[in-house]
Amino acid sequence: MAQINPSILSADFARLAEEAGAVAGADWLHVDVMDNHFVPNLTLGVPVVESLSRATDTPLDCHLMIEDPDRWAPQYVEAGAGSVTFHVEAAAAPVRLAREIRAKGARASMALKPATPIEPFEDLLPELDMVLIMTVEPGFGGQAFLDIMLPKIRRTRELIAKHGLELWLQVDGGVSASTIERCAEAGADVFVAGSAVYGADDPGAAVRELREQARRTIAGAAWACGH
């Protein structure tokens, strides 16, 4: 029920294959793609995703913090991503894009920056496999968790339940042992963790411990009753 997606933004970019292997027990490997336009940072692109997909058996969860995802997102599916997340603030035709991602064989996900409300996009939810609520401003790793996003996570979970959907609800930003339970209680079931995993002495053990924390919390959460 609880999934942990280590973010390679916090990994050693010179040793990505080894860093992927260090978290082989993770559910997904989270790949932050930034273009220095949509967000003020530049990371990696299609060729690195293509190489990484050949170097690990862990499925890749690509989070595109880029302009014009309508053009670029399908290429990440072709490069080997099992899940592709686009930002609704940047997408020109989010329904068409989600359908194209799915048609190419990947899970389609929509991300929202902290200031973007979920309610205007309620009708899009059936087109998606996952919603990503950013719990920091996108662009850099290692930021402090924004507690004011917890009500938004709850509202998103309520909308998912309202429509009877089997959507995953992902959170990204400042997720750690001290914040993951609050996210899980609010309704999240997929957790991106960067420095909390790769900053640990044993990244694999950190993944297991975070998953167990989240699993216990979800088991007792009101939103998960009867799930």
Write out the catalytic residue numbers. 32, 172
Strand boundaries in 55-98, DSSP class E: 60-65, 83-87
Distance CA 7, CA 203 (A): 11
The neighbouring-strand residues paired with 63 are 32, 85
User: Which amino acid type is present at position 110?
Assistant: M
**E strand or H helix that includes residue 193:** strand 190-193
Q: Cβ-count burial of 114 within 10 angstroms (0-12 exposed, 13-18 middle, 19+ buried)?
A: middle
Question: Under a CB-based contact definition with an 8 Å cutoff, are residues 19 and 56 in contact?
Answer: no
| R_g of the chain computed on alpha carbons | 16
Q: Cβ-count burial of 57 within 10 angstroms (0-12 exposed, 13-18 middle, 19+ buried)?
A: exposed
